[in-house]
């Protein structure tokens, strides 16, 4: 892992000088300046390891064969690493030539494929060896861990989540409460932003946790909110939950690969994530789960499958459960080596630098985007993401187009026609993620100019 702090600092100084309030000079607003930022960016070379979709493959009619899209959807599905296909081919080849013996021999042996690569994820989530398992989808992992960690008894039966949580999280929590024979209307507490606001006040979250006190069983919280991009002070949220005797689990879908996570040091009880967003594994590939080493897995309620059994006696098939300990005890069945292979290339690329460096560059990309948007199209947009506080955002920026001509929906369609890949949500919100792994400062510059021309056609 190579530290490039001084180089990132140079980049920061360039941007600071250029976009400092009131100093957005015409010289700094050139494409040449954005290109200089790309040259200075010590992580910029990583883009060369990815296939970036071409506009001609996304838009019906586009003359330029080679022009790459402005891909700002890495928060939803990351781009494909160039090396991924060869890892999949190697797994297929191993199966082809070894048949049954591919289980324990050759490249990414089937029976051990998850354990072979799980060390690559440790620095990305800030976990210790033995605290993570690569398995299932995020939703399945959340289900397994909610089964284990929601243990309502007496007064202690409430779960706190954020208002407008991701649908899967909401449904899983509500149905978990029903599975316990309780009523979500009474036991599920959603914390809302203040009237007229999109983002949550940190104090309101802590206050709700303290208020709920000994009625609180569990807090499920995201380090990064999927829609607003808001980054939370997770350590304090976890500590507040623990102070009232509740557990705290984290949904890291939008945190992983975006910001530095410290699951172990923060003392998260459990966490889950998916592998296809910022991590750039393939669509629907295996996600992961974390269980803090201070918690004895044997004391938790769980569905048991044969894969959670200790490896050395798993194949005795004597139906005497002997769990492997920790989160790996939650594994139910065989891991999928083809899917696992899709995680190898992107995880190796992440392991070239620390997550704090990816986070720093991601914040510079989003900061540059915010500054240009304010300077160029500020009158037509309202930021959803906390745009003035660098600690409260990662690389994602969401904003609302204020009503006017052209209509927000038409603006979004036009962006797509120009090769911009991003999300739109009715009535007029746009979500963009310039990711530190493969986006460029010139992507940001070009995007803002395309948007400017759509909003203010000459």
Ligand X SMILES: *Cc1c(COP(=O)(O)O)cnc(C)c1O
Residue 254 annotated in ligand binding: yes
Only segment of 62-70, 166-174, 195-203, 425-433 that touches ligand X (CB under 6 A): 166-174
Only segment of 81-89, 151-159, 164-172, 302-310 that touches ligand X (CB under 6 A): 164-172
Only segment of 114-122, 162-170, 208-216, 231-239 that touches ligand X (CB under 6 A): 162-170
Choice between 229 and 326, CB closer to ligand X: 229
Choice between 169 and 443, CB closer to ligand X: 169
Nearest-approach distance from CB 351 to ligand X, in angstroms: 23
Among positions 254-273, residues that touch ligand X (CB under 6 A) are 254
Nearest-approach distance from CB 385 to ligand X, in angstroms: 15
Choice between 222 and 249, CB closer to ligand X: 222
Only segment of 50-58, 165-173, 299-307, 431-439 that touches ligand X (CB under 6 A): 165-173
Choice between 139 and 357, CB closer to ligand X: 139
Give CA–CA dist 191/335, Å, rounded: 37
Nearest-approach distance from CB 141 to ligand X, in angstroms: 8
Residue 166 annotated in ligand binding: yes
Does position 307 interact with ligand X (CB under 6 A)? The reply is no
Site string for ligand X, 137-156 (x = CB under 6 A): xxx-----------------
Residue 150 annotated in ligand binding: no
Total binding residues toward ligand X, as defined by CB under 6 A: 13
Does position 239 interact with ligand X (CB under 6 A)? The reply is no
Residue 168 annotated in ligand binding: yes
Give CA–CA dist 431/8, Å, rounded: 25
Residue 51 annotated in ligand binding: no
Helix axes 138-149, 167-179, angle to 10 degrees: 30
Does position 226 interact with ligand X (CB under 6 A)? The reply is yes
Residue 72 annotated in ligand binding: no
Task: For 354, list phi and psi in degrees, rounded to 5.
Answer: -80, 155
Give CA–CA dist 455/214, Å, rounded: 52
Nearest-approach distance from CB 151 to ligand X, in angstroms: 22
* Contact with ligand X (CB under 6 A) among 33, 166, 330, 438: 166
Does position 431 interact with ligand X (CB under 6 A)? The reply is no
Dihedral, CA atoms, 158, 162, 163, 168, nearest 10 degrees?
A: -90
Residue 251 annotated in ligand binding: yes
Among positions 120-139, residues that touch ligand X (CB under 6 A) are 137-139
Does position 251 interact with ligand X (CB under 6 A)? The reply is yes
Residue 171 annotated in ligand binding: no
Give CA–CA dist 133/332, Å, rounded: 11
* Contact with ligand X (CB under 6 A) among 131, 169, 269, 359: 169
Q: Can you read off the two tokens belonging to residue 96?
A: 């082809």
Choice between 81 and 275, CB closer to ligand X: 275
Does position 274 interact with ligand X (CB under 6 A)? The reply is yes
Nearest-approach distance from CB 338 to ligand X, in angstroms: 17
Does position 280 interact with ligand X (CB under 6 A)? The reply is no
CA distances, 407 to each of 376, 399, 452 (Å): 18, 15, 14
Nearest-approach distance from CB 137 to ligand X, in angstroms: 3
Residue 222 annotated in ligand binding: no
* Contact with ligand X (CB under 6 A) among 253, 297, 360, 437: 253
Q: Can you read off the two tokens belonging to residue 120?
A: 């690559």
Query: Which sign does the torsion angle of CA 123, 128, 134, 139 carry?
Result: negative
Site string for ligand X, 182-221 (x = CB under 6 A): ----------------------------------------
Give CA–CA dist 24/286, Å, rounded: 44
Helix axes 31-40, 441-455, angle to 10 degrees: 160
Parallel/antiparallel/unpaired status of strands 247-251 and 216-221: parallel
Give the Cβ contact number of residue 19 at 10 Å: 21
Dihedral, CA atoms, 214, 220, 225, 230, nearest 10 degrees?
A: 30
- Annotated binding-site ranges: 138-139, 166-169, 251, 254, 276, 306, 334
Contact residues toward ligand X (CB under 6 A) are 137-139, 166, 168-169, 222, 226, 251, 253-254, 274, 287
- Annotated binding-site ranges for pyridoxal 5'-phosphate: 138-139, 166-169, 251, 254, 276, 306, 334
């Amino acid at each position: 892992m190579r530290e490039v702090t001084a180089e990132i600092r140079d980049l920061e100084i360039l941007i600071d000088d250029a976009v400092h309030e009131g100093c957005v000079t015409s010289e700094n607003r050139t494409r040449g300046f954005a290109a200089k930022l790309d040259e200075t960016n010590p992580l910029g070379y990583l883009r060369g390891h990815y296939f970036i979709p071409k506009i001609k493959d996304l838009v019906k009619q586009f003359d330029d064969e080679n022009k790459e899209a402005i891909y700002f959807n890495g928060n939803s599905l990351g781009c494909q690493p160039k090396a991924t296909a060869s890892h999949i081919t190697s797994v297929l080849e191993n199966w082809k030539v070894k048949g049954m013996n591919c289980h324990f021999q050759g490249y990414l042996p089937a029976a051990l494929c998850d354990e072979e690569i799980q060390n690559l994820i440790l620095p990305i989530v800030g976990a210790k060896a033995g605290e993570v398992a690569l398995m299932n989808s995020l939703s399945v992992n959340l289900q397994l861990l909610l089964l284990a960690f929601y243990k309502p008894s007496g007064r202690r039966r409430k779960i706190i989540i954020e208002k407008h949580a991701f649908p899967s999280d909401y449904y899983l929590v509500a149905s978990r409460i029903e599975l316990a024979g309780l009523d979500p209307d009474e036991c599920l507490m959603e914390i809302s932003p203040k009237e007229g606001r999109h983002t949550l006040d940190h104090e309101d979250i802590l206050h709700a946790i303290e208020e709920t006190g000994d009625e609180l069983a569990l807090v499920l919280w995201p380090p990064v909110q999927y829609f607003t991009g808001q980054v939370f002070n997770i350590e304090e949220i976890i500590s507040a939950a623990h102070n009232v005797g509740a557990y705290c689990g984290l949904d890291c879908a939008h945190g992983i690969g975006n910001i530095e996570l410290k699951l172990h040091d923060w003392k998260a009880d459990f966490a889950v994530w998916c592998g296809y967003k910022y991590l750039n594994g393939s669509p629907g590939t295996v996600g992961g789960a974390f269980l803090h080493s201070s918690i004895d897995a044997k004391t938790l309620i769980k569905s048991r499958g044969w894969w959670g059994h200790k490896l050395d006696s798993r194949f005795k098939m004597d139906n005497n459960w002997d769990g492997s300990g920790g989160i790996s005890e939650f594994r139910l069945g065989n891991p999928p080596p083809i899917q696992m292979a899709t995680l190898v290339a992107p995880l190796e690329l992440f392991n070239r630098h620390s997550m704090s460096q990816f986070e720093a560059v991601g914040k510079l990309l989003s900061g540059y985007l915010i500054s240009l948007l304010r300077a160029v199209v500020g009158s037509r947009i309202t930021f959803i993401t906390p745009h003035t506080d660098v600690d409260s955002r990662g690389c994602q920026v969401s904003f609302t187009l204020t009503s006017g001509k052209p209509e927000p929906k038409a603006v979004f369609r036009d962006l797509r026609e120009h090769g911009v890949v991003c999300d739109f949500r009715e009535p007029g919100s746009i979500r963009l993620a310039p990711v530190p792994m493969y986006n460029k400062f010139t992507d940001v510059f070009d995007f803002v100019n395309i948007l400017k021309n759509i909003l203010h056609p000459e």
